[in-house]
Amino acid sequence: MFITFEGIEGSGKSTQIKLLGENLTQRGHKVKIVREPGGTELGEKIRNIFLSSSEEKIDPFSEVMLLYASRKNLDVNVIRPNLQANNIVIADRYSDATIAYQSYGKGLDAQVIKDIHNFSSISTPNLTFFIDINENLSKQRISGREIDRMEKESLEFFSRVRTGYLEISRNNNRVHIIDGEKSIDQISIDILKIVEGAINASMG
Ligand code: ADP
């Protein structure tokens, strides 16, 4: 089973991934957690390039190519082998993020991203959780962090990304919208219920 978490910065992805990983491990599953971009030696190098501050405005198509170079390598080296071993793979962001950030956020034609996605023939998630918070709460929650290149974007940018995620969620049955303003414990219970339902369904 392949599960992805999506959402703007500070929505609670890392918090919930950690809890879901612990809950599933306790229930006897083998869990592999990966993050994007990154998760492989090459991917972590790309992550450094991707997130480091730059004087230059980085072209969104170039961003997409970097993300897909990392994603393909992650799929081949980590995601597929783990799925073949019947492990549960949980990813901190995946392909929906590229549509939300580089298309809705930065204006690149979504079809260009979809074409690159199709050419890359990578694994499709079974389940995706979009943890939804508004851009003001995002800003509050990440105010204590050292800010990376993507986190420097404006409130309007994160509002567009959020709109993108909401549309993606409406158009894809695999995506569950989670209200990120509920308590950490309540969200984790809701997510575990959906995951257990999907695991039971997949076992017939
Ligand atoms: P992300 O990985 O999406 O950037 P994090 O899991 O790192 O988000 O959470 C960002 C901050 O918000 C952390 O300080 C975390 O403890 C807090 N947080 C996460 N989920 C909630 C929640 N449901 N309610 C209140 N605070 C939360």
> Residue 176 and residue 170: Cα distance in Å, rounded?
9
Q: What is the pTM of this model?
A: 0.96
Rounded to the nearest angstrom, the distance between the alpha carbon of 160 and the centre of ligand 1 is 20
Residues 146-153 have a mean pLDDT of 81
Rounded to the nearest angstrom, the distance between the alpha carbon of 41 and the centre of ligand 1 is 27
> Residue 189 and residue 44: Cα distance in Å, rounded?
31
Work out the pLDDT band at 148, boundaries 50, 70, 90. confident
Q: List, for residues 77-131, the tens digit of each pLDDT value.
A: 999 999 999 999 999 999 999 999 999 999 999 999 999 999 999 999 999 999 9
Q: List, for residues 6-62, the tens digit of each pLDDT value.
A: 999 999 999 999 999 999 999 999 999 999 999 999 999 999 999 888 889 899 999
Q: How many CB atoms lie within 10 A of CB 28?
A: 6
- Which residue lies with its CA nearest to atom 18 of ligand 1? 12
Work out the pLDDT band at 153, boundaries 50, 70, 90. confident
Rounded to the nearest angstrom, the distance between the alpha carbon of 15 and the centre of ligand 1 is 6
Q: What is the pLDDT of residue 53?
A: 83
* pLDDT beyond 80 at 204: no
Check pocket membership of 93 for ligand 1, CB cut-off 6 A.
no
Look at residues 20, 51, 32, 25 and name the one whose alpha carbon lies nearest to residue 129.
Answer: 20
Check pocket membership of 20 for ligand 1, CB cut-off 6 A.
no
- The CATH T-level fold of domain 2-203 is Rossmann fold (3.40.50)
